[in-house]
Amino acid sequence: MSTGEGPDGILLVDKAPDRTSHDVVSRVRRLFETRKVGHAGTLDPNATGLLLLGLGRGTRLLTYLSGLGKTYEAGILLGRGSTTDDVWGELGPIAARPALEAITPERVHAAAKALTGDILQVPSSVSAIKVGGVRAYRRVREGEDVHLAPRPVTVSSFALSGLRRRDDGCLEVDAVIECSSGTYIRALARDLGAALGTGGVVSALRRTRVGAFSVSEAAVLPEWDQDGPRPDLLGLGTAAGRVLPVRTVDAAETRELRFGRPLSPSARSGGVAAVTESGELVAVLTDERGRARPRFVVPAAPAGKGHGESHAGH
């Protein structure tokens, strides 16, 4: 561990179904014996896939990870709606056969294409968006009729990889969706169904990518009744270098930054990762008033201890 408070780094987790994101955070706190754990965006309990967690000083990097684009593998059921826009809510009746039979593969592809690009999306009413200081899903659970304002999102790709008709006439659709942060896949399923004159709900959801981080790198956590092994952390320098431009700093510049002093400008907009030649993150910089000023600084590791510069693994 790099400090008495626990290790520093980014942990990539492949979340299992039937676990909340809070469950994952709690499990990681127990595994690594630290309270300082945060996440860069949650997944619904029934969804699986990639969660990015920051440990120790890695929590300071979460600001730069939370707005990254994402990729999902989704199952969509056409022909039914639900209170939650997924199959885990209260499902409505199956649509009439004529409406279902009118849905052809060509129409499904055209409807998906129409939901691609820069669009205005009304989030699912059971989202975590606050309405009057209260989460929308809590208001729905209390019986309120919640209407959320549309929000701009970007769906870079809505690719359909499979389409099957069930015995009840409903259609099962497999999709791979690349989208901006803040896009609701449940809302895409709902809107896809609406465009086809029927209902649409998510039946399966897996997040496979967040920015430059892939679920193929992620660890599967041991169960609560198992002690380990601990998954490897992605080092701060490695993680920062995937999301920010990198500026290599020498020993003198490293000393200046660790005293909180600015450097010559980086001539880059936004954050820049100041990293030593050995790959250690020293600070994140932003150009302000003609100088590259540290937004936050990572202190030097105690002698003989590093900042967890390793790769996440299984």
Catalytic residue chosen out of the listed positions 8, 14, 44, 85: 44
| Known active-site residue 287 | no
Amino acid at 8: D
pLDDT for res 148: 78
- The pLDDT tens digits for 46-63 are 999 999 999 999 999 999
Summarize pLDDT for 109-154 with one digit per residue, the tens. 999 999 999 999 998 876 667 766 767 667 666 666 677 789 999 9
Beta strands in the chain (DSSP E): 9-15, 37-39, 48-55, 70-78, 117-121, 130-131, 134-135, 151-165, 171-179, 200-210, 213-214, 246-248, 272-275, 281-288, 291-297
Strand, helix or coil at 86?
strand
310, amino acid identity: S
How many beta carbons lie within 10 A of that of residue 287, not counting itself?
19
Do 123 and 187 meet the contact criterion of CB atoms below 8 Å apart?
A: yes
Strand partners of residue 303: none
> For the structural domain made of 9-67+216-297, what CATH number should be given?
2.30.130.10
Domain boundaries defined on the chain: 9-67+216-297, 70-210
Per DSSP, 101 falls in state H
- What superfamily in CATH does domain 70-210 come from? Pseudouridine synthase (3.30.2350.10)
Residue 38 · residue 137 · CB < 8 Å: no
The residue ranges of the chain whose pLDDT is under 70 are 1-5, 126-128, 131-132, 134, 136-137, 139-145, 225, 228, 302-314
pTM equals: 0.90
> Across-strand partners of 248?
275
SS3 123: coil
